[in-house]
Amino acid sequence: MSKALRPPRARRRKSESDPQFLAIGKVLRPQGVRGELRLEIYTGSPAHLKDVETVYVGDEQSPYPLESSRLHQKILLIKLKGCDDREQADSFRGQIIAIARADAAPLRAGQFYHHQIIGLAVISDEGEQLGSITEIIETGANDVYVVKNGDEELLLPAISSVILKIEPPQMIVHLLDGLR
């Protein structure tokens, strides 16, 4: 296996000069014998990836040139330059694939990336400070925001009757009966 295509080890180095990244998927396994990778898709609009030239792999976000990407049913297939056989592709199994934030598809008004939601202060429509969002749970039907305030935890469904307004650095919510 070529040294340039060795996936990074699972350790994290972060400095202020790191570029900003958005995860687009996780490598499930190789596809075929020519080095393609099957990705579980994290992004709702993978079509824009055809214009992306570089992806970033693993915790270290090591850059790899992207040769091609295509949708196959609900799976994204990508080919990294120089990854030309199944054995090389298999070495990427389980790795997170990211793109530079600048390469991300633009969002419509009122849409946010998860990293823009996590950390927001949450305030009720009655002015009560509820805590801050520490996690987002993807349930399939709608996301659920985990709000923590000290030892207390509140789960808020990301639905319009609960989430009234998102204006970073805060989110205004209406607490329906039973949410506490």
CATH number of residue 31's parent domain:
2.40.30.60
* 83 & 124 share domain: no
Predicted local confidence at residue 30, as pLDDT: 97
- 71 and 129 both lie in a single domain: no
- What local confidence, expressed as pLDDT, does residue 2 receive? 39
CB proximity list for 10: less than 8 A, separation 6 or greater: 58, 59
Positions of the chain with pLDDT lower than 70, given as ranges: 1-19
Query: Rounded distance, CA 74 to CA 63, Å?
Result: 25
Domain assignment present for residue 65? The answer is yes
Please give the torsion angle defined by the CA atoms of residues 154, 158, 161 and 164, in that order, rounded to the nearest 10 degrees.
90
Give per-residue pLDDT as tens, 122-148: 999 999 999 999 999 988 889 999 999
The Cα 169–Cα 175 span in angstroms is 19
Q: Which amino acid is at 46?
A: P
Range of the domain at 127: 114-173
Report DSSP state, residue 82. Answer: T
CB atoms within 10 A of CB 120: 19
The answer on 27 and 99 residing in a single domain is: yes
Please report whether residue 108 resides in a domain: no
Kindly state whether residue 179 falls inside one of the protein's structural domains.
no
Same domain for 73 and 126, yes or no, is no
For residue 9, the model assigns a pLDDT of 43
Domain boundary among 53, 74, 103: 103
